[in-house]
Amino acid sequence: MDSLAAAPGTGPATNPLPVIRKAKAAARFEDLAQGRTLVMGVLNVTPDSFSDGGNHSTADSAIAHGLRMFYGGADIIDVGGESTRPGADPVTPEEEQRRVLPVVAAMVKAGALVSIDTVNASTAAAALDAGALIVNDVSGQRVTAEMIELVSARKVPYILTHSRGDSQTMDSLAVYTDVVGEVVAELEELRGRFRAAGHADERLILDPGLGFAKAGAQNWELLRGLDRLTGLGHRVLVGASRKRFLGELLTTAGKAAAPIERDAATVAVTALSAGRGAWAVRVHDVGPNLDAVKVAARFSA
């Protein structure tokens, strides 16, 4: 906390930017915590996020929330400016960059290791220029040649998510005979494109894409089959936080639990995923999930 004039959310300052006194030493991917699953905090700079209803849609509110997550122990802050929930409308790269770049710059200045959540190569490039160190791309089968070329040339860690279609079509494409086998096969096929471009395997992180062209039970099958993904030899990221399949599980009187009511279930999935070898979990509520990965690490020590 020595880089802050006051803890985020306290004191007379209303704009989080002046709270940061000076830049910390630049974060490095190599310096991430060892010996436990990492916690990636979700920072949605959008007005239509499924999980928080646009609570952090302005730069000031997003930065303040990002600082709270960072000083609360998040290993990585994942900044995104376009909702990827089913049915969401796309935004232009220009609008996406207007939303995220000030937030990325402020988080980097605070000393956070930042991931940029985008399907657009131009936004990824701008965020990397602003200090982001990881590209988190949920485009899956729609990944562009420009994105592959960018991350290969920049030699940055890239999160390859399994996904079919876009926000408008993904639900209709959740058709599998063997969801675990098909997800693994499709990730391997996409991995080949990155290898062909010279992207090193150690910089490729796999995400099974829970909720992306996956119906309720299929998500549980993927979680149970997590060892099939870790067996591919890459780091694996699990992003279950507040997703629909958890709301369906917690249905009461015929009504699915609201996103904010899914945090305890998320923590349970975090602990189980950590026990099965997940490299990181992507979550909205950092504190309890950080506790869960620490318990999982101690339990398996």
Domain map (residue ranges) of the chain: 35-300
Q: Which of 164, 191, 242, 243 is catalytic?
A: 243
Give yes or no: 98 in active site.
Answer: no
CATH number attached to the domain at 35-300: 3.20.20.20
Query: With the CA atoms of 84, 87, 90 and 96 taken in that order, what torsion angle do they form, in degrees rounded to the nearest 10?
Result: -40
Query: With the CA atoms of 53, 55, 57 and 61 taken in that order, what torsion angle do they form, in degrees rounded to the nearest 10?
Result: -170
Look up the pTM and report it.
Answer: 0.90
Does residue 249 contact residue 209 with C-beta atoms inside 8 Å?
no
CA of residue 157 relative to chain centroid, distance = 13
**Tokens matching residue 235:** 């780091």
pLDDT at position 46 is: 87
Measured CA to CA in angstroms, residue 5 lies from 9, 10, 74, 109 at distances of 11, 10, 20, 14
Strand, coil or helix: what is 117? strand
- Of how many residues is the chain composed? 301
Give yes or no: 282 in active site.
Answer: yes
C-alpha 85/C-alpha 95 separation (Å) is: 18
Q: Compute the C-alpha angle 165/86/49, nearest 5°.
A: 130
C-alpha 36/C-alpha 133 separation (Å) is: 20
Residue 256 burial (C-beta neighbours within 10 Å; 0-12, 13-18, 19+): middle
Per-residue confidence in pLDDT tens, the chain, 301 aa = 334 434 444 444 445 444 444 556 779 999 999 999 999 999 999 885 555 656 676 899 999 999 999 999 999 999 999 987 777 788 999 999 999 999 999 999 999 999 999 999 999 999 999 999 999 999 999 999 999 999 999 999 999 999 999 988 999 999 999 999 999 999 999 999 999 999 999 999 999 999 999 999 999 999 999 999 999 999 999 999 999 999 999 999 999 999 999 999 999 999 999 999 999 999 999 999 999 999 999 999 8
pLDDT at position 287 is: 98
**269: number of CA atoms within 13 Å, CB side?**
29
